[in-house]
């Protein structure tokens, strides 16, 4: 008989963790349809994940009270919603993603007698953005939820070491499965250049990310400001908009309003579903994040053969990209300039094999 699998995540938008969940579901349906029957549950914000699942005919469930913000009343309601779903769904495996869903679903699953409960850590931003008592409480919550987990999946050794430092779970629970993406089709260059009217001789330094605090778009603008002062043959392009809050979008706009001359050299395009087609025109991918797991945009850049410059966050160093200290904007500027000038050969490791990525999760489900 097929194993019934529930994938659950807090929000139903279309960002990194949701794309990873989608990739797992796609792989299970494509390569292991005789072994697994997969369903997905998520909060209703903002529904783009559900749209993609419908295209695959994957059944999904909306958890009405599952939200990102801490809200004791709604969180308790969400817990009972999840528990009812798991109980009625008779799942053999519950695989949770993201902090809120991960905490509630793991406890609910074990209370319902689910034999295999798995949680994937997509980075530690949920803990590391805080300090003091709040950080200690969140670490305690992760330690508590780990008791209701059979496997804790990390994206690289560095993330596993963080769990050990925070004393979350036990080594016997630890599994490392680096993210992978589905093979990118034959994408023709030129779409972004045509849209923005950028000549072929002008270099494009870009990023594809949310305009949110972990992605640090202000650092991206600081690098852009210094580089375009040194050379006039470069344009900076940020593809992505705010998902959780508008605060950082407003900060970006304020930064540009205070430097009107920079608006000609920096383009903010907002969220685009065709982002991967646009980024094919990048000459450099510049990741300026304060926190990451395995950023999918780096995997996409590697498949497209685009040099990557990144802050030293998450698993990026283990992905074979050029990495500098997180706080050294000067080093970011220098490295971007050197790559644009052809003075540095960027390390581009081949991306992880998509089928091997899915197979590792299958072994975790069945092991």
| pLDDT one-digit tens code per residue, 17-38 | 999 999 999 999 999 999 999 9
Distance CA 271, CA 201 (A): 26
d(CA 293, CA 20): 11
pTM of the prediction? 0.90
**From CA 245, how far away is CA 250, in angstroms rounded?**
10
Helix (H, G, I), strand (E, B) or coil at 47: coil
Tell me how far apart the alpha carbons of residues 188 and 278 are, in angstroms, rounded to a whole number: 9
pLDDT band at 349 (very low <50, low <70, confident <90, very high): low
Q: Which of 216, 257, 244 is nearest to 98 (CA)?
A: 244
183-239 residue pLDDT tens? 888 899 999 999 999 999 999 999 999 998 889 999 999 999 999 999 999 999 999
Cα angle for residues 97, 100, 106 (degrees, 5° grid): 65
Buried b vs exposed e over 113-132: b needs ≥16 C-beta within 10 Å? Answer: ebebbbbbbbbbbbbeeeee
**Lowest pLDDT segment from 92-101, 199-208, 305-314:** 305-314
Residue 89 · residue 2 · CB < 8 Å: no
Q: Of 257, 261, 215, 259, whose CA–CA distance to 238 is shortest? A: 215
Question: 46 preceded by cis ω (within 30°)?
Answer: yes
- Which alpha helices (DSSP H) does 147-295 contain, by range? 157-165, 191-196, 217-230, 247-257, 275-279
How far is residue 142 from each of residues 95, 133, 149, measured CA to CA in Å?
A: 16, 14, 10
Does pLDDT of 96 surpass 70? yes
DSSP tag of 172: G
Mean pLDDT for all residues in the chain:
93
User: pLDDT at residue 351 above 70?
Assistant: no
Pick from 363, 365, 296: nearest CA to 95: 365
pLDDT at 248 > cutoff 90: no
Per DSSP, 274 falls in state: T
DSSP 52-65: HHHHTT-EEEE-TT
Please say if the pLDDT value at position 257 is more than 90. yes
When pLDDT is cut at 50, 70 and 90, the band that residue 45 belongs to is: confident
Check if the beta carbon of residue 255 is closer than 8 Å to that of residue 266: no
């Amino acid at each position: 008989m097929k194993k019934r699998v529930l994938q659950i995540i807090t929000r139903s938008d279309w960002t990194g963790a949701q794309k990873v969940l989608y990739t797992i579901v796609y792989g299970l349906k494509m390569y292991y349809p005789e072994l697994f029957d997969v369903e997905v549950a998520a909060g209703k914000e903002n529904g783009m994940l559900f749209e993609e699942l419908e295209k695959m005919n994957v059944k999904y469930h909306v958890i009405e009270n599952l939200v990102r913000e801490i809200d004791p009343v709604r969180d308790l309601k969400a817990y009972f919603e999840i528990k009812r779903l798991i109980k009625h769904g008779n799942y053999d495996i519950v695989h949770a993603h993201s902090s809120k869903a991960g905490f509630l679903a793991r406890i609910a699953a074990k209370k319902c007698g689910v034999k295999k409960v798995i949680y994937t850590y997509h980075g530690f931003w949920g803990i590391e953005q805080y300090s003091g008592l709040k950080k200690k409480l969140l670490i305690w919550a992760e330690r508590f939820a780990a008791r209701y987990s059979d496997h804790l999946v990390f994206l690289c050794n560095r993330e596993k070491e963080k769990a050990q430092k925070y004393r979350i779970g036990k080594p016997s629970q630890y599994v490392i499965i680096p993210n992978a993406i589905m093979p990118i089709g034959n994408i023709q260059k030129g779409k972004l250049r045509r849209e923005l009217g950028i000549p072929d001789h002008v270099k494009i330094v870009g990023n594809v990310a949310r305009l949110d605090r972990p992605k640090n778009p202000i650092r991206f603008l600081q690098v852009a400001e210094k580089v375009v002062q040194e050379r006039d043959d470069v344009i900076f392009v940020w593809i992505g908009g705010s998902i959780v809050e508008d605060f950082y979008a407003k900060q970006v706009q304020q930064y540009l309003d205070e430097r009107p001359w920079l608006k000609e050299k920096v383009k903010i395009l907002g969220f685009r579903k065709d982002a991967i087609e646009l980024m094919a025109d990048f000459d450099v991918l510049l990741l300026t994040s304060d926190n990451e797991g395995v950023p999918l945009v780096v995997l996409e850049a590697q498949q497209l053969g685009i040099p990557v410059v990144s802050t030293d966050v998450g698993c990026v160093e283990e992905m074979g990209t050029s990495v500098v200290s997180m706080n050294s904007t000067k080093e970011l500027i220098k490295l971007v300039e050197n790559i644009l000038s052809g003075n540095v050969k960027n390390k581009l490791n081949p991306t992880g094999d998509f089928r091997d990525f899915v197979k590792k999760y299958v072994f975790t489900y069945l092991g």
